[in-house]
Amino acid sequence: MRLVCPAGSPPAFKAAIDAGADAVYVGFRDETNARAFPGLNFSENDLHAAVAYAHARNRELYIALNTYPTPTRIGQWRKAVDRAAALGADAIIAADPALLDYAASAHPRLARHLSVQGSATTHVALRWYRERFDIARAVLPRVLSVEQVERVCAANVVPIEVFAFGSLCIMVEGRCQLSSFVTGASPNRHGVCSPARSVRWQEHADGSRSVRLDGVLIDRFNPGEPAGYPTVCKGRFEVGESIFHALEEPTSLNTLDLLPRLARAGVCALKIEGRQRGAAYVGAVARVWRQALDAFAATPEGYTAQAQWHATLASQSEGRQTTLGAYHRGWQ
Amino acid sequence: MRIALGPPQYFWPRERTLAFYRDALTWPLDVVYLGETVCSKRRELRLADWLQIGDEFARVGVEVVLSSLALLEAESELAQLRRLVGNGRFIIEANDISAVQLARELGVPFVGGPSLNIYNVGSVRMLVDDGMRRLVLGVELGRDWLGELREAAAAEGIALPPIEAIAWGRLPLAWSARCFTARALNLGKDDCGFRCIDYPEGLKLATREGQDFLMINGIQVQSFEVCDLAPVISELLDAGIDTLRLYPQQHDMPRVIGRFRQALEGAALTPLPGHGIGYWHARGPMASAGAETPAIRGP
């Protein structure tokens, strides 16, 4: 299994490669990718340097073009595909049918990976993308149990990449309008979820804090209580008589314990989430996963996830908690 | 402009559902969407039941469409989808690319549902090639986007299919593997006891200061606010909307349909309290109301 790591900046990119990533995925500095945050992502010069750095070490660079262009903006997205090809990227990660179609006809030798934003959860859906665009790989949404991942892999339509670690989207990717509903900015169209400009923190006299997203109260924290970034799906709300994390707690996905099963299922690549995180996160997480993959390759039968790996990953996690997410039926 | 009764979003007992559609046979509808779109565990009605209801609507001249699940995970769900697509009588609403692919393989025409991610002309054209006869606007798309789409299609000489818009009901905003109704009731999804049947219009989620915010409906999350495009019907006509989708609700459906018939006859309607026009005017429904003070009920 290949280790695919995120980078939102040149230092994070270098950290990922140096820590043993087989491939690193990055984005341009615009809304063509789903981490269109101010101050993040790569200039043209950064990318030339990154491609050279990766290729000199026999690693790969993927460019995420995983937002959906509206009719007047498709030209900009097509140019982004052209730029990715000209840079010598090893693949683009895309979801929009028109964009995949353009890439397949204009740059047939540039590999196309179906982004998780494509919401493809079955081998039948994957067949559509393969027949239509000859995709080389597909990233599965974080909604399938491990048994379901095994079945999708067994259908053998296209090599499968799954999320292994990072902040957890609990909705089907590509089909979540919660940020869009509250802020008008959507992952699909604008490449952002809960944009920083919509977030308002408020300190109260008693030391408690509340956080709003465009006026909507997402959560309130007691003095000293850890507070995470406010996305609608990780807020506390009132349902019935109770106030609780009605959708999900601030937590991260961690599949270290599932590694042998994902490998046996035939998963071709493990994806780490977190282009919005810094070089320290990327380096630490990539190092743990490199060690885990190497340990598994050396003695598949003897593999156990080490406590130190778990501790490192927990220290990098949202809310310092981790979960198997939808891979484990009990979570659902 | 035609009026469609959208697919049911909630889980109702068998008898209530049958009674609802018996009544609906007498309503002034042009199109009816039938079938389960949210959760495959909801089986008060089976495909044979929906087909039978469909036959009755077809007999009175209503166009029948069988809707598919928006989220497919298990092989058993794919097997159900195959039966739905191959039903031999009615076209389908494809709410996932899996349904598009099966319809394409079997040569069955389909309506492109609101959860397909269709954002531009190239994507529309591909689905039309696959057999799409009508496109429902994506949940977060509205007037301005449709204008852009028409302009781009005209520039490229591409004919667009008829367009349908969600005109009434709670907006389906998100889907998950997790059942949020079961979670709220401290139940596992596998032992849910089908408890969403106790919430015929969903389970309300409010903010910690009492602002009504979302509606939990099993694995689906909806807007709490009901979208009502009747006050802007003239804009829908100008935009060339072909079909209005009204999502079923347990009470007052004839009055809702009456409201849209009135609007189509030219009556100027005022907005109903607590209702909004969803995404029709481009920005997020709450973002456009963002500057207003939320309705606060106290902490």
Q: Can you give the pLDDT of all 332 residues of chain A as single tens digits?
A: 999 999 999 999 999 999 999 999 999 999 999 888 888 999 999 999 999 999 999 999 999 999 999 999 999 999 999 999 999 999 999 999 999 999 999 999 999 999 999 999 999 999 999 999 999 999 999 999 999 999 999 999 999 999 999 988 899 999 999 999 999 999 999 999 999 999 999 999 999 999 999 999 999 999 999 888 899 999 999 999 999 999 999 889 999 999 999 999 999 999 999 999 999 999 999 999 999 999 999 999 999 999 999 999 999 987 777 899 999 988 99
ipTM of the complex as predicted = 0.95
Is the pLDDT at B296 greater than 60? The verdict is: no
- Strands A252-254 and A322-323, how do they pair? parallel
Reading the block at residue A320, the tokens are 């310092």
Of B162, B143, B149, B139, nearest to B65 by C-alpha is B162
Task: Determine contact: A80 vs chain B, CB below 8 A.
Answer: no
Task: Determine contact: B294 vs chain A, CB below 8 A.
Answer: yes
User: How far apart are the C-alpha atoms of A300 and A303, rounded to whole Å?
Assistant: 6
User: How far apart are the C-alpha atoms of B264 and B248, rounded to whole Å?
Assistant: 19
Q: Do B180 and A247 lie within an 8 Å CB cutoff? A: yes
User: How far apart are the C-alpha atoms of A255 and A163, rounded to whole Å?
Assistant: 8
Q: Do B176 and A330 lie within an 8 Å CB cutoff? A: no
Beta carbons of B4 and B33 less than 8 angstroms apart: yes
Please, what is the Cα angle at A215 between A213 and A217, to 5 degrees?
Answer: 70
Reading the block at residue A107, the tokens are 């740059």
User: How far apart are the C-alpha atoms of A8 and A276, rounded to whole Å?
Assistant: 6
> Residue A237 is nearest to which of B152, B175, B213, comparing CB atoms?
B213
Task: Determine contact: B39 vs chain A, CB below 8 A.
Answer: no
* Amino acid at the residue B134: R
Residue numbers in A near B175 (CB within 8 A) = 171-172, 175-176
Reading the block at residue A173, the tokens are 């990717």
DSSP secondary structure string for all residues of chain B: -EEEEPPP-S---HHHHHHHHHHHTTS--SEEEES--S-TT--SS-HHHHHHHHHHHHHTT-EEEEE--S---SHHHHHHHHHHHT-SSSEEEE-SHHHHHHHHHHT--EEE-TTS---SHHHHHHHHHHTEEEEEPPTT--HHHHHHHHHHHHHHT-PPPPEEEEEEEEEEEEEESS-HHHHHTT--GGG-TTGGGG-TT-EEEE-TT--EEEEEETTEEEEEEEEE-GGGHHHHHHTT--EEEE---SS-HHHHHHHHHHHHTT---PPPTTEE-TTTTSS-HHHHTTTSPP-----
The pLDDT of residue B288: 54
The pLDDT of residue A251: 87
Residue numbers in A near B151 (CB within 8 A) = 71-72
Q: Do B123 and A121 lie within an 8 Å CB cutoff? A: no
User: What is the value of pTM for the model shown?
Assistant: 0.95
Task: Determine contact: B180 vs chain A, CB below 8 A.
Answer: yes
Beta carbons of A163 and A327 less than 8 angstroms apart: no
Task: Determine contact: A242 vs chain B, CB below 8 A.
Answer: yes
Task: Determine contact: A176 vs chain B, CB below 8 A.
Answer: yes
Q: How many CB pairs under 8 A join A and B?
A: 224
Query: Residue-wise over A107-140: b if at least 16 C-beta within 10 A, else e?
Result: beebbbbbbbbbbbbbbbbbbbbbebbebbbbbb
Task: Name the DSSP class of A140.
Answer: P
Residue A84 dihedral angles phi and psi, to the nearest 5°: -60, -40
Is the pLDDT at B290 greater than 60? The verdict is: no
Residue numbers in A near B70 (CB within 8 A) = 175
Task: Determine contact: B188 vs chain A, CB below 8 A.
Answer: yes
Nearest CA distance, A4 vs chain B (angstrom): 24
Hey, which residues 90-149 in chain B have their CB within 8 Å of chain A?
A: 96-98, 100-102, 104, 115, 117-123, 125-127, 139-140, 145, 148-149
Residue numbers in B near A119 (CB within 8 A) = 96-97, 115, 117
The pLDDT of residue B253: 98
Q: Do A72 and B140 lie within an 8 Å CB cutoff? A: no
At A227 the three-state DSSP class reads coil
Reading the block at residue B122, the tokens are 């190239």
Residue A210 dihedral angles phi and psi, to the nearest 5°: -125, 155
CA Rg, chain B, in Å?
19
Please, what is the Cα angle at A306 between A290 and A147, to 5 degrees?
Answer: 75
The pLDDT of residue A96: 98
Task: Determine contact: A301 vs chain B, CB below 8 A.
Answer: no
Beta carbons of B152 and A72 less than 8 angstroms apart: yes
Nearest CA distance, B30 vs chain A (angstrom): 28
**Most A-contacting residue of B213, B279, B280 (CB-CB within 10 A), to test interface:** B213
User: How far apart are the C-alpha atoms of A97 and A128, rounded to whole Å?
Assistant: 10
Neighbours of A8 (CB within 10 A): 24
The pLDDT of residue B287: 67
Residue numbers in A near B120 (CB within 8 A) = 68-71, 74, 96, 98
Of A72, A76, A109, nearest to A92 by C-alpha is A109
Burial (Cβ within 10 Å: 0-12, 13-18, ≥19) of residue A241: exposed
Is the pLDDT at B299 greater than 60? The verdict is: no
Neighbours of A303 (CB within 10 A): 18
Q: Which residues pair with B262 in a beta bridge?
A: none
Query: Residue-wise over B70-84: b if at least 16 C-beta within 10 A, else e?
Result: bbbbbeebbebbbeb
Output the 3-class SS for B198-252. HCCCCEEEECCCCCEEEEEECCEEEEEEEEECHHHHHHHHHCCCCEEEECCCCCC
User: How far apart are the C-alpha atoms of A221 and A209, rounded to whole Å?
Assistant: 5
Hey, which residues 241-280 in chain B have their CB within 8 Å of chain A?
A: none
Task: Name the DSSP class of A57.
Answer: T
Task: Name the DSSP class of A241.
Answer: T
> Residue A177 is nearest to which of B100, B139, B189, comparing CB atoms?
B139
> Residue A183 is nearest to which of B119, B178, B284, comparing CB atoms?
B284
| Residues, chain A | 332
Task: Determine contact: B191 vs chain A, CB below 8 A.
Answer: no
The pLDDT of residue B289: 52
Of B103, B97, B65, B113, nearest to B82 by C-alpha is B103
Is the pLDDT at B292 greater than 60? The verdict is: no
Residue numbers in A near B205 (CB within 8 A) = 237-239, 246
State the DSSP H helix or E strand holding residue A94, giving kind and residue range, or none if neither. strand A91-94
Chain A residue whose CA is closest to B212? A238
Q: Do B176 and A171 lie within an 8 Å CB cutoff? A: yes
pLDDT, one tens digit per residue, over B2-38 is: 999 999 999 999 999 999 999 999 999 999 999 999 9
For the four alpha carbons of A146, A151, A152 and A153, in that order, the dihedral sign comes to: positive
Task: Mean pLDDT check: name the lowest of A267-271, B221-225, B246-250, B288-292.
Answer: B288-292
Chain A residue whose CA is closest to B127? A97
Task: Determine contact: A312 vs chain B, CB below 8 A.
Answer: no
Residue A89 dihedral angles phi and psi, to the nearest 5°: -60, 155
Beta carbons of B139 and A175 less than 8 angstroms apart: no
Domains detected in chain A: 2-168+251-328 (3.20.20.70), 178-244 (no CATH)
pLDDT, one tens digit per residue, over B181-194 is: 999 999 989 999 99
Task: Determine contact: A149 vs chain B, CB below 8 A.
Answer: no
Q: Do B179 and A236 lie within an 8 Å CB cutoff? A: no
Task: Determine contact: B209 vs chain A, CB below 8 A.
Answer: yes
Residue numbers in A near B204 (CB within 8 A) = 239
For the four alpha carbons of A182, A183, A187 and A190, in that order, the dihedral sign comes to: positive
Residue numbers in A near B189 (CB within 8 A) = 329, 332
Beta carbons of A145 and A326 less than 8 angstroms apart: yes
Task: Name the DSSP class of A172.
Answer: E
Alpha-carbon separation of residue A297 from A33, A263, A271, B98, B151 (angstroms): 33, 10, 18, 35, 55
> Residue A143 is nearest to which of B101, B177, B184, comparing CB atoms?
B177
Q: Do B179 and A332 lie within an 8 Å CB cutoff? A: yes
**Percentage of chain B exceeding pLDDT 90:** 92
Chain A residue whose CA is closest to B288? A184
Task: Determine contact: B52 vs chain A, CB below 8 A.
Answer: no
